[in-house]
Structures are given as structure tokens and as C-alpha cells.
Structure 1
Amino acid sequence: MSDLVFDAVSVRYGGRRGLTAVDHVGLTVPSGQVVGLVGESGSGKSTLARAAAGLSPLSSGRVLLGGVDVRELPRRRPLQMVFQDPYSSLDPRMSVGESIAEAIPRGVLPSRGARRDEVARLLDLVNLDPDRAGQLPGRLSGGQRQRVALARALAGRPEVLIADEITSALDVSVQGAVLNLVRSLQRRLGLSMLFISHNLAVVRYLSDIVAVMYLGRIVEVGPAEQVLTEPQHPYTRDLLAAAPSAHTSLFDTGVDAATTDAEPADPHHPPGGCRYHTRCPIGPLVHADREVCLQADPGADSAHRRHSAACHFGEDESHLPAISRGASAP
């Protein structure tokens, strides 16, 4: 197994005046561990995942697997991705078995019988009856299709699995079963995994490390339990405060009124200095003397801070709103 490393990765769409969806991101997925990547819609999470899988071209930087640029790896990469929508990730004209067999690297199992046995093994691995190999995806439920998508990804013999919001399109009743399966497979196979979600309870349940993304940049990263119980960046704290739990009201998050109605920053024209200062409950909207937030990028010297938090005042807890510690496993 090898580390997956994002080395100063940027992804830009539309030329110089377009949108920088991912901006100079550095992140490591250690071998055999799960990194949960969280952030609101539009933060760049899925674009970063697609860049690793070779589906979004890099504007700058590198994605390395075991020290090798993924763009130099063979077509059948030791890195596979499971997508959000199980209804569009499988070819409706191909049987379940054909879809899985197509992903098996050429030359690994040359005989039809061996490939058929491998398809049966993979279906059993994701808790599906091997007899479903002859069925079309249209005959399956959403949860069953996502299990097939997992089996197809595992057929590629990956070292790293990227899961992009794989339960968000599923009924609540089956989300837990799929998450339990993912955790079991990761541990049994020793996979490295980048798990993308906006659900903090899911991230806590699965992840060893949590990385928080905002407007194309990583603003905090560290051990999952530490980040989710002692967050250093105000954006992480706001995400936690906004997550419903048995201990919080949906209408009372403890956020300062000065930031409640603040407009989100335009991703096409992100603000200078700290990108979160337009919404920050401990920034210049509330504390007028904190002009440094308008002028200096806190990410430039974040390495020496706890959790590499991209915040000038993240450690000044006297100004931070109370948050709930109540996020739990799904």
C-alpha cells in the first residue's frame, strides 16, 4: 500500500478569468487509513476527487500515489472511484456481472470461468447474491446498485478507494447498511480511502483523519476525534454547530447575529486575506480591529498551528461560539 498525496493541486475551469475550484491543495491520505473530506456544496471536494481519478485535469500541482504521479500510471490505475449516484454510474444495458467483469484488469484472469468466479466472489463480498450477476441494474434498488458499484471498484484491484457522497442519494433506511459495509471492506482489505461527505456523523463514524474544505482550500486537517471535538477553525465550528443533534435546536446555533445574514463569498472572485472572513464569527465582522483577516492569507503559515488551521485567531477560544459535541454514528 502507498500514500495518496495531493501536492499543491489546483484545478481551474474557464481559463484565467474562470473558476478555481481547487486552489493549491496539499493533503495526504496515509496508507491503510480513511481521510474524511467535508465541506459545504461548492467547496471543491468532488473536483479534488475527480482530479485524483484523472477525470478533472490539473492546472498545477501533482497527485502522487507511492511517489509516482498518477498521470504516469497505467490506464487501469490502482485507484478507483465510487460515485454519488448509483443510478447513473452503471451502464443500464450491461448486466451486473458484465459491469463488474469489465473492470477486472486485463491479463489477470484470462479465462471466462475465472472471471465468472471472481464476479461471484466480489458480489458476495458486498453482501449481494451472486445470482444477481445476470440481472440488469434497472432491476435493483439504489442500495443494491451502490453495492454493485463498490464491487466494480474493487474489481480493479485498487490500493486507494475514493468514495464521493456514496450514501447521499440513498434512502435513510439503507444508508447505515452501506456505511457498515464500507467500513468492513476498508478494514478487511486494508484499503486507503478518501471519503467525501457533508454529513459530519458519517465522517466521524468512518474516518481516521478529517480534512475540512472551504472555497477550494483545506482550512483544517487532523485526527478525526480531535477535529470534531476541538476544532480550531471557525468554519469547522460553524459546520458542527449547524449539524442537528439531540443537544441543539435547528433554529439556535449560537452564531453571532452579525454573521447570520452574511452573503457567502463569490467562488469566481474569492475575497483576499482569509476567505472565510466574510462569514466568520470571530473575524472583522464582529471584531473590527482584526484587519489582518482582510489582508493576510492565514494558510501561508498554518503548518505550525494545531490541525494546520488556516485561521489567524483560531486558538483564541474566548471569542468562539459554543458548539454541540453531539455528533454520533449514523
Structure 2
Amino acid sequence: MSELVFDGVSVRYGARRHALTAVDGAHLTVPSGQVMGLVGESGSGKSTLARAAVGLAPLATGRILLGGTDIRQLRGRRRPLQMVFQDPYSSLDPRMSVGDCVAEALPRERGRGGTVRRAEIAHLLEQVNLDPGRASMLPGQLSGGQRQRVALARALAGRPQAVIADEITSALDVSVQGAVLNLVRDVQRQMKLTMLFISHNLAVVRYVSDHIAVMYLGRIVEAGPTEEVLADPRHPYTRDLLAAVPSRIPAPAGGADGDAFAAIEPADPHHPPPGCHYHPRCPAGPQAHSGRDVCRTTDPSDDAAARPHRAACHFAATADLAPPKRLRTEGAQ
């Protein structure tokens, strides 16, 4: 059992007037052996949530559980939760060989000599479709896609139960993104890993994920099975994300008002609006519909579990939202 649970997680930086709540009471469950895609615009708190899971960002409130155990109780032991970072050019030590980078994450066990460790390194490199002969090379001698494969091999070397992949294709050439995505999907299925896959690209998330969660200004605003959420999103922000995806399909008639609301600048994360954080930009909120002042005063996250897709929207069950745009995924394949 390697279910990854974020239970009311908050991450704050600074104090008093300069305080910033990067993650605000996030509740999210990544089912055991499955992939949860996490999407949202820049600054929504996706990477901060990931960094909190591996101990690189301090928890202000809440807890993170892996297999029912608080990750803070795992310090000093083998880390069953590993992370692959966004930038393959800075995540590897340029002075260490590829083999040393991978070996650094291998558990130290008695009776395992250098021959055994070299064989295990070779196996890990083969597992990520990289020639074991490159083990003696430095990261600077590899391409971006090859470095990201080394980073994935290093994460697998820790024998994790769960892996967090943070925008792992965004720094790569388009020509190699598909190959890396196919590799990640194949490795995850073969090893039955629990995975949190973070991306701003909805097509990529749809390609690799069993479930999807949407984040806005530090809060999880919608979550559910990928196909269900993308076919019938119940939060206006999810619909706006879908509407922003380039498509050859014409936008539905009457979508101009929604576009106008989406064009409004996001709120200052240092001073988020009360109630629903999205209400100043929401085409289904009080700016567009009279009588919906509840959006300004009450946080819809409090009873999200009772709504479709756990949507943090007071009007998630209503049908007065424009139909979502179809999402093409050919580019991810």
C-alpha cells in the first residue's frame, strides 16, 4: 500500500504583511499504483506542494502520508518518496559521473561489493533506455533528454514506493518530450509506482495520468478521474484552462464573456480575495450573476467533498457553464 495523501497541507513563507501562503489547506489523494496529474498556471503552488512532500519546503499545517505513515517520521531511513526535478541541467552534479549520480541514491547494504553496485547501475540505466556505457560520462556530455533519463534512474535507485515528477518535459526539446513521456508511463506501469505528475500542459497530463487535480492560488479546486474531469469539468477555472488549449475546433458561441473574465489578471497571492479565490475572474461568479455573493464570503473548499469531482465551487452542480472544449492529445504521443 503506497497511497500518497496530502491532508490539509499549507506552506507559508515570510511573516505578517509580507507573508505568502503558497499552498493553502490542500487535500489530495494519489491512489496506490496510479498516476495523479496536477495542473494549474504558474504560481498556483504545484511545485511547492511537491517540494513539501520531499522535505524541501516547510509545512505550516497539515501532514503528508505515504502508505499511512507521516513522511516526517521517515527521516534518517531510506526515502520511499523520490522526486524528478524540472531542470535536468541543474538537478545533476556536473562534477560527478553518470554512474556516481545514480549510485549516490542506492541504499547502502552490507555485503554488496563494487561489482554488484556497478551491475545495478547498469540495470537502472537500461531501465530508462540509456546505454550503460555512458556511466563514466559527465552530465555535461549528455543531451537534455539523456540527463532527464539519468535523473529518473537516480530516483528509481532509491527503490521508491512513490515518485513525484515536476514538469519533467518542460525544459526539453519538443522532439524528445514524447520519448520521455512514453518512458515515464512504461516505467510507472512496470513498477506499479504511485506517481504525482505535475505539468501545465493538459494534453501531457491526459496522456500519462489516471486522475487529474487542478490547482489555483494554492488550493485544489477540482479532482477526479482524468477523462471525467476533462469531459465534464465542474469548476470554472478548469473550463478556462481547457478553453486556453489551442484547437482547430471553433469556440462555442457566446464564449466572449468567459474570455473577458479569464483575461483579468490573477489576484495577488500575498493578498488573495476572500471566499473563493477565483471569484473576481469567474464567469459563473458574482461578477456575472447577481445573488451569488456567497462566492465573496465563503470558501467553497470546506464542503468540496460533497460536490461532483470535489469541485471547490458553490455552483459546481449547476448547468449554466459553457460546454468544455475538446482536448487533442496527438502531440503528447
TM-score in same-fold range (> 0.5): yes
Residue correspondence of structure 1 range 141-290 to structure 2 within 5 A: 141-248=143-250, 254-256=256-258, 258-290=260-292
Q: Secondary structure at the match of 2:312?
A: coil
Q: CA deviation at 1:189?
A: 0.5
Contact between 1:241 and 1:254, CA under 8 Å: does it hold in 2? no
2:73 maps to 72
Counterpart-to-counterpart distance in 1, 2:111 and 2:158: 12
Q: CA deviation at 1:328?
A: 1.7
Q: CA deviation at 1:158?
A: 0.3
Q: CA deviation at 1:255?
A: 4.6
Q: CA deviation at 1:326?
A: 2.6
Counterpart-to-counterpart distance in 2, 1:144 and 1:157: 21
1:11 maps to 11
2:56 maps to 55
Contact between 1:19 and 1:268, CA under 8 Å: does it hold in 2? yes
Contact between 1:51 and 1:57, CA under 8 Å: does it hold in 2? yes
Is residue 107 from structure 1 mapped to residue 109 from structure 2 by the alignment? yes
Q: How many corresponding residue pairs?
A: 327
CA offsets 1:128-171 (integer angstroms, 9 cap, x no match): 10000000000000000000000000000000000000000000
Distance 1:109 1:192, change over 3 A: farther
What are structure 1's unaligned runs of at least 5 residues? none
Contact between 2:242 and 2:327, CA under 8 Å: does it hold in 1? no
- 2:296 corresponds to which letter in structure 1? L
Counterpart-to-counterpart distance in 1, 2:72 and 2:278: 33
Counterpart-to-counterpart distance in 2, 1:116 and 1:173: 31
Please say which of residues 258-267 and 223-232 is displaced more in the overlay.
258-267
Counterpart-to-counterpart distance in 2, 1:224 and 1:99: 35
Counterpart-to-counterpart distance in 2, 1:300 and 1:48: 19
Contact between 1:95 and 1:134, CA under 8 Å: does it hold in 2? yes
Counterpart-to-counterpart distance in 2, 1:238 and 1:244: 12
Counterpart-to-counterpart distance in 1, 2:110 and 2:6: 29
CA offsets 1:239-282 (integer angstroms, 9 cap, x no match): 00001123247xx9655355144221110011011110010011
Counterpart-to-counterpart distance in 1, 2:309 and 2:296: 22
Q: Secondary structure at the match of 1:61?
A: strand
- 1:230 corresponds to which letter in structure 2? D
Counterpart-to-counterpart distance in 1, 2:25 and 2:91: 29
1:27 maps to 28
Counterpart-to-counterpart distance in 2, 1:262 and 1:41: 15
Counterpart-to-counterpart distance in 2, 1:326 and 1:154: 32
Counterpart-to-counterpart distance in 1, 2:140 and 2:250: 41
Counterpart-to-counterpart distance in 2, 1:15 and 1:186: 40
CA offsets 1:170-215 (integer angstroms, 9 cap, x no match): 0000000000000000000000000000000011111111010000
Identity %: 68
CA offsets 1:211-251 (integer angstroms, 9 cap, x no match): 100000000000010001100000000000001123247xx
Contact between 1:200 and 1:327, CA under 8 Å: does it hold in 2? no
TM-score (norm 1): 0.96
Contact between 1:274 and 1:293, CA under 8 Å: does it hold in 2? yes
Q: CA deviation at 1:287?
A: 1.2
Distance 1:121 1:109, change over 3 A: farther
Q: CA deviation at 1:321?
A: 2.3
Q: Secondary structure at the match of 2:134?
A: helix
Contact between 2:11 and 2:21, CA under 8 Å: does it hold in 1? yes
Contact between 1:37 and 1:196, CA under 8 Å: does it hold in 2? yes
CA offsets 1:71-125 (integer angstroms, 9 cap, x no match): 1104331000000000000000000000001110111672111110001000000
Counterpart-to-counterpart distance in 1, 2:30 and 2:246: 28
Q: Secondary structure at the match of 1:132?
A: helix
Distance 1:38 1:260, change over 3 A: closer
1:117 maps to 119
Please say which of residues 54-63 and 256-265 is displaced more in the overlay.
256-265
Q: Secondary structure at the match of 1:317?
A: coil
Contact between 1:258 and 1:286, CA under 8 Å: does it hold in 2? no
Contact between 1:298 and 1:310, CA under 8 Å: does it hold in 2? yes
- 1:185 corresponds to which letter in structure 2? V
Counterpart-to-counterpart distance in 2, 1:22 and 1:322: 29
Q: CA deviation at 1:68?
A: 1.1
Contact between 1:247 and 1:326, CA under 8 Å: does it hold in 2? no
- 1:211 corresponds to which letter in structure 2? A
